[in-house]
Amino acid sequence: MTCNRRTVLAAAFLAAFTFNTPVFAAKPLVIGFSQVGAESEWRTANTVSIKDAAKKDGITLKFADAQQKQENQVKAIRSFIAQRVDLIAFSPVVESGWDTVLREAKAAKIPVILTDRAVNVSDPSLYATFIGSDFVEEGRRAGRWLLERAKKTPDTIINIVELQGTVGSAPALDRKKGFEEVIAGNPKLKVIRSQTGDFTRAKGKEVMEAFLKAEGKKINVLYAHNDDMAIGAIQAIEEAGLKPGKDIVVISIDGVKGAFEAMIAGKLNVTVECSPLLGPQLMQLARDVVANKPVPKRVVTQEGVFPAEVAAKEFPNRKY
């Protein structure tokens, strides 16, 4: 009997070494990830980064696209709970309305990581950590760039139109706040129109057309909360017979390749970087959280500002 067991074990080890597979392989980590949607170049790059990092790390990723709808995200999270995944990660489309479903995850003892966007919950223990950019700072960076530029024309009023991101989303609220905070330093800078373009090119174009119809040549600056809306708006400006980047200064956020191309073509003046490449850090955090290792409650992404003057030189280095 003993001898038999030994023989079996020995054979198992031999087989394992021969086929190069570990004898007692750890169960792969299973993560349920609820993505906002596919609304922008940023989002596509973010999805690729997360899927690639999971694959590279041998993590099983259950991926759900919410098509920009909170109700779809709630459904996805409930289904991850029912499937008893090891960890849930998600990028919340809007900030509020998460308490109930996050309490359900907590009751099921499934840890949650927020990626990219924050939530507004009364109990911070409902999530383990939040990894993403500082959107208020991005808004400030956009504002500071404009403040510098406005120094060249100290006596001129500068009329700004703003294309906001998705209503109620963290990046829309914060990018508006940070920008307003900084431009308040110069009373000549005035936001004359501000409306949502839902972070998409199509909406950005449509809303810019309405702005142009209402304000025409009065518009000096466009501040778009993301590159895609700026790119849509650039088209609207051109169709109105004006020169984007010259007649209307265009400022946006993200730093996707499309923005660099627009800068090289002289149609966009500056993009404030917001990195979507969160995958590798997310997988590391997920492993640590599941292993009960301490993690920081907030992980902030490092980012820069790219004005048109450096676009051609920087373009080959861009990864998204």
Nearer to ligand GYE, 57 or 303 (CB): 303
Nearer to ligand GYE, 47 or 220 (CB): 47
Separation CA 84–CA 192 (nearest Å): 50
Nearer to ligand GYE, 43 or 176 (CB): 43
Residue whose token pair is 């920008």: 179
Binding flag, residue 274, ligand GYE (CB under 6 A): yes
Separation CA 256–CA 273 (nearest Å): 8
Q: Which stretch binds ligand GYE (CB under 6 A): 35-43, 106-114, 233-241, 302-310?
A: 35-43
Binding flag, residue 117, ligand GYE (CB under 6 A): yes
* HSE-CB for 269 with a 13 A CA cutoff: 19
Q: Which stretch binds ligand GYE (CB under 6 A): 14-22, 36-44, 288-296, 302-310?
A: 36-44
Contact 204, 231 (CB under 8 A): yes
Nearer to ligand GYE, 158 or 259 (CB): 259
Nearer to ligand GYE, 86 or 227 (CB): 227
Q: Binding pattern to ligand GYE, positions 119-148, x when CB under 6 A? A: ------------------------------
Among 49, 220, 226, 269, binds ligand GYE (CB under 6 A): 226
Separation CA 292–CA 289 (nearest Å): 5
Binding flag, residue 254, ligand GYE (CB under 6 A): yes
Binding flag, residue 40, ligand GYE (CB under 6 A): yes
Binding flag, residue 116, ligand GYE (CB under 6 A): yes
Within 10 Å of residue 49's Cβ, how many Cβ atoms?
20
Within 10 Å of residue 25's Cβ, how many Cβ atoms?
9
Among 29, 33, 34, 43, binds ligand GYE (CB under 6 A): 43
Q: How far is the CB of 169 from ligand GYE (least distance, A)?
A: 7
Q: Which residues contact 194 (CB under 8 A, 6 or more apart)?
A: 161, 162, 164, 176
Separation CA 116–CA 169 (nearest Å): 11
Residue 111's nearest CA partner among 87, 132, 135, 89 is 87
- b/e string for 133-144 if b means 16 or more Cβ within 10 A? bbbbebbbbbbb
Binding flag, residue 89, ligand GYE (CB under 6 A): no
Binding flag, residue 199, ligand GYE (CB under 6 A): yes
Name the residue type at position 7.
Answer: T
Name the residue type at position 301.
Answer: T
Binding site for ligand GYE (CB under 6 A): 39-40, 42-43, 116-117, 171, 199, 226, 228, 253-254, 274
